[in-house]
Amino acid sequence: MGRASPLDVYALLDKSNCKECGYETCMAFATDILERKVRVQDCTHLMQDPKQAKNRNKLIEITTPPQKPVRIGVGEREVVIGGEEVLMRHQLTYYNETAIFLEIPDDLAESDLVEMVKYLTDLTVERIGDVLKINGIALRCVSGEADNFKAAAKKIAEISNLPVMLCCFNADNLLAAAGEIKDKRPLLYAATKDTWEQIGKFAVQNNLPMVATSTDIEELMSLSATLQKLGVKELVLDAGTLFGSGNLAATYDNIIQIRTAAIDKEDVNAGWPIMGVPAAYWSQVEVKDKDELWRHQYQEIIMGAMMIAVATSLIVLHTGQKKEDIWALLALMTMRQTVYSDPRIYPAVDAGLYQVGEPGPMAPIFVTSNYRMTKIPVEQDLKSGNIDSWLLVVDSEGIGIESAVAGGQFNAGSIAEAVKEFKAFDKVDHRILIIPGMAARLSGALEDEADAWVVVGPRDSSGIIKYMDTQWKPEEFMKQYEDLKE
């Protein structure tokens, strides 16, 4: 089935432009449904008017992607996984990034459990303007005791708003814990060929998402079909995560087979988010030498990286639950940020004049492009060097310096226009601009266009601190400017 267009969606709305959804027009709402910024359920007319039930159902049908989305948790940390329309990011875009869950055993002392959960809940890393976080906690029933599992689940729900995956192959223990926190919409892990009915019925009765697992793809597809007939509305598929010779390739192949069946072949049994468990590495090896622990951790993180690279919907990690293992999460969250950037748009920031620190009358004015991956590192390097300054961000259509200079988007005219528009020289007692080394060839023309003294800074912002120490001589530059004017 081809992708619906905004007009296809608009035709099924009531076209009243009521604004109850927060949009000025139904057409704007229709466009953002396709961009996943809103849901059909956000249209009150469609949801509340019985006469529009047919249109509502049709709209849900044509806007549901071949890999259906699944929601885990509630509130501001609710996570949506799956929901993808394409196999390869460049074909359109990926919408819902790989959710990273950290596993925690239920047999920890309460104080240790609380400390670990609070650390993971509050963990944030700012990178290139994005705040990177983990997405959830996978609570494992290591104790084998229903009471322990229930108590740990309840404690996590009390102290954290992170979504929870309850992990136990004993269906009685799993459902006992799920009953304690069902209002938090935990993900139930996992139904097998032996437990599908018991767990499936509970999921249906309580409107909870659940996982079906089998290392046999045919059996997994059969479980999916059976659970859907039972009434399960939100399902996640786990084809197993195997390590060792040949098993990495087998794990990769299973993920690709399921994603291909869902997205290219529109197989409704495969059309669900798929998950992997790199943390399974630790149950498949024996770590004898603690000095070699890091080598084993690398194996887990390599599996996680492979899964993120092929848009696996959710992964469960062991390494990263402790503060000293932050390197593992940094690596995977950074990779995830890159894989899930939207290829349809340039990552741009707003043009403008940005203040860094407390710039005085002779503070430097640095010029850069509005490509996000340029502006933010430059700003961060200025801040880390405690350089009180102004950063003039020029609209280069979201293109980096070198390419924008070559393509003409970053030129003397556009820089001079930004100087005037944002009144850069009103902030200081000089007319000096520092341009990137990659834009050196613009200096002569820019001096004429902006009536300024233009100096060429380093090619890379990492050299700004050294540049300021050795080459920033504002009084001398202004004397040269005044001599030139005479």
- What pLDDT is stored for residue 245 in this prediction? 85
pLDDT over 70 percentage in the chain: 100
H or E element: which one contains 154?
helix 146-159
Which pair of structure tokens corresponds to residue 112? 């240790």
Q: Does domain 6-63 have CATH number 1.10.3720.10?
A: no
The CATH 3.20.20.20 portion of the chain extends over: 69-339
- What pLDDT is stored for residue 292 in this prediction? 86
Dist. CA 398–CA 181, nearest whole Å: 45
Strands annotated E in 232-292 = 235-238, 274-276
Residue 60's CB is within 10 A of a number of other CB atoms, namely 14
Residue numbers in the chain where pLDDT is lower than 50: none
Measured CA angle at 14 (ends 36, 34), to 5 deg = 15
**Using one digit for the tens of pLDDT, what is the confidence trace for 121-145?**
999 998 888 899 999 999 999 999 9
pTM reported for the whole predicted model: 0.86
Dist. CA 258–CA 78, nearest whole Å: 25
The CATH 1.10.15.40 portion of the chain extends over: 6-63
The CATH 3.40.50.11600 portion of the chain extends over: 352-485
Bridge partners for 276 per DSSP: 315
Q: Does domain 352-485 have CATH number 3.40.710.10?
A: no
Dist. CA 447–CA 412, nearest whole Å: 8
The full DSSP string for 85-144 is --SSGGGS---SPPEEEEEEETTS-HHHHHHHHHHHHH--EEETTEEE---EEEEE--S-
At the fourth CATH level, the homologous superfamily of domain 69-339 is Dihydropteroate synthase-like (3.20.20.20)
- Of 81, 148, 55, the closest CA to residue 110 belongs to 148
Helices 217-230/196-206 angle, 10° precision: 40
Backbone angles phi, psi at 270, to 5 degrees: -90, -10
- What pLDDT is stored for residue 1 in this prediction? 62
